[in-house]
Amino acid sequence: MKKGVNTNDFFGIDSLLNEDEIQVRESVRQWVEKRFMPVINQHNRDATFPMDLVPELAELGVFGANIDGYDCAGLNNVAYGLIMQELERGDSGLRSFVSVQGALVMYPILAYGSEAQKDRYLPKLAKGEMIGCFGLTEPDHGSDPGGMKTRAKRDGDKWILNGAKMWITNGSVSDIAIVWAKDEEGIVRGFIVDTKTPGFSAPEMKGKFSLRASITSELVLDDVVVPDDHRLPNVEGLKGPLGCLTQARYGISWGALGAAMACYDSSVEYAKTRIQFDKPLGSFQLVQVKLTDMLNEIVKGQLLSLHLGRMKDEGTYTFHQVSLAKMNNVNAALEIARSARDLHGANGITDEYPVIRHMVNLETVKTYEGTHDIHRLIVGQAITGISAFT
């Protein structure tokens, strides 16, 4: 048998990364391997998130890693993407925890908040001393957040919030919630809600078969009084929350590749060691084709996200391009995970191997942050100039 080539970097993509980017990737990869992998299976079985690791994640600098100042790491967007990749190589729930904190809680405060709000919240969120969640989706409004029923009624220098949010990552472990609500004129506004405020509750949602190592909650707002200085002053309209989603979707395009790589690596190892018909599985043409298809999609996805990251750093990317990358890479990762599950035979349904966990996680990743079909329609709108939604 001839020795295989290095398929970890089949297209020499490392040559397009600088030393800092590679170093960040390696340090996060090592942390995930050493600190997260030994505990993930138990957390996945118990449907819990390892909250005890939050201080170490903060120490690694992963919360709001692409933000300058406010005790954040100030990395470029490619290094940030590589962090997402390595976290999701561990588990989509781990990447979710970090992307919600950075892209959906810190980003809106940075982009739409007052200086006082930035000074008050961002350093604590960066250090993991405060955890946040993002409440956009409602029981009756998922893909169409513009139809939200949650209301914010002005009362002097205060607002009174009423409504319900659903499927909110980290809702019941959060200190603050970024809540999106319509005012009396129907204008969408963002609020930083202290989760200890009377009338606010966040019951945990149970029974998930996917993203088990991630806390998902409802948010119930029953006459929650929020001071006006907790409103995000520099944005109004649906483009506020949608602008945050662009940040998170960018990270997911990288993250999904991490999950795909974990499935691919496990498949290569399995194909070399599992013997059937007196030969390793990897000697059969059909198995080689499966491995080739996996690697093919990983390489294409890496190049897509890398170019997108460079454009993001230059400030030239569009949200339509982000939709295409999220849509493509998550779909490819899910197909890779399904193929890997098949290749592992019966072993593929146990948590002795990571593939079934990644496979079911990726069903969520394909749905949240805009479903696959919603992203196809966002790109379709860019192509035709016609919205499929109105």
Residues within the interface to ligand TGC (CB under 6 A): 96, 99-100, 134, 136-137, 143, 145-146, 169, 237-239, 242-243, 245-246, 248, 319, 368-370, 374, 378, 387, 389-390
Say which entry of ligand TGC, ligand FAD, none residue 242 contacts (CB below 5 to 8 A, set by partner kind).
ligand TGC
Q: What is the CA radius of gyration of the chain?
A: 21
Say which entry of ligand TGC, ligand FAD, none residue 211 contacts (CB below 5 to 8 A, set by partner kind).
ligand FAD
- Interaction of residue 107 with ligand FAD, rule CB under 6 A: no
Q: Do residues 229 and 108 touch, judged by C-beta distance below 8 A?
A: no
Minimum Å gap between C-beta 388 and ligand TGC is 9
Applying CB under 6 A, among 53, 100, 268, 281 the residue interacting with ligand FAD is 100
Q: How far apart are the first and last CA of the chain?
A: 59
CA dist 184 → 181, 187, 332, 355 (Å): 10, 7, 43, 48
- Interaction of residue 172 with ligand FAD, rule CB under 6 A: no
| Total residues at interface with ligand FAD (CB under 6 A) | 23
Nearest residue by C-beta to ligand FAD? Answer: 142
The nearer residue to ligand TGC, 58 or 294, going by C-beta atoms, is: 58
The nearer residue to ligand FAD, 179 or 343, going by C-beta atoms, is: 179
Residue position matching structure tokens 């035709």: 384
Q: Do residues 380 and 389 touch, judged by C-beta distance below 8 A?
A: no
Per-residue string for binding with ligand FAD, 264-293, x by CB under 6 A?
Answer: ------------------------------
Per-residue string for binding with ligand FAD, 140-169, x by CB under 6 A?
Answer: --xx-----------------------xxx
Give bridge partners of residue 211 from the DSSP assignment. Answer: none
Minimum Å gap between C-beta 296 and ligand TGC is 27
The one-character DSSP state at 231 is B
* Alpha helices (H) in 47-191, listed in sequence order: 54-60, 77-90, 92-99, 107-112, 115-126
CA–CA distance, 260 with 155 (Å, rounded to integer): 50
Minimum Å gap between C-beta 359 and ligand TGC is 17
Provide the Cα torsion 229, 251, 146, 126; round to 10°.
-10
Binding residues for ligand FAD restricted to 208-227, rule: CB under 6 A: 211, 216
- Interaction of residue 329 with ligand FAD, rule CB under 6 A: no
Binding residues for ligand FAD restricted to 112-141, rule: CB under 6 A: 133-137
- 236 classed as catalytic: no
The nearer residue to ligand TGC, 122 or 374, going by C-beta atoms, is: 374
Say which entry of ligand TGC, ligand FAD, none residue 367 contacts (CB below 5 to 8 A, set by partner kind).
ligand FAD
Per-residue string for binding with ligand FAD, 356-385, x by CB under 6 A?
Answer: --------x--xxxxx-xx--x--------
Say which entry of ligand TGC, ligand FAD, none residue 283 contacts (CB below 5 to 8 A, set by partner kind).
none
The nearer residue to ligand TGC, 87 or 287, going by C-beta atoms, is: 87
Give bridge partners of residue 154 from the DSSP assignment. Answer: 159
**Helix 239-273 crosses helix 92-99 at what angle (to 10 degrees)?**
160
Strands 188-194 and 176-182: antiparallel
Structure tokens at 6: 């290095």
Q: Which of 86, 138, 218, 369 is catalytic?
A: 369
* Alpha helices (H) in the chain, listed in sequence order: 19-31, 37-46, 54-60, 77-90, 92-99, 107-112, 115-126, 239-273, 285-314, 319-343, 355-367, 372-384
Structure tokens at 101: 């904190």
- Interaction of residue 97 with ligand FAD, rule CB under 6 A: no
Count of CB atoms situated within 10 Å of the CB of 204 = 12
Q: Do residues 16 and 306 touch, judged by C-beta distance below 8 A?
A: yes
The nearer residue to ligand TGC, 123 or 146, going by C-beta atoms, is: 146
Structure tokens at 155: 């009362």
Structure tokens at 367: 């749905």
Say which entry of ligand TGC, ligand FAD, none residue 168 contacts (CB below 5 to 8 A, set by partner kind).
ligand FAD
Minimum Å gap between C-beta 43 and ligand TGC is 16
Residues in the chain: 390
Structure tokens at 320: 């339509």
Active-site residue numbers?
369
- Contact positions vs ligand FAD (CB under 6 A): 100, 133-137, 142-143, 167-169, 211, 216, 364, 367-371, 373-374, 377, 389
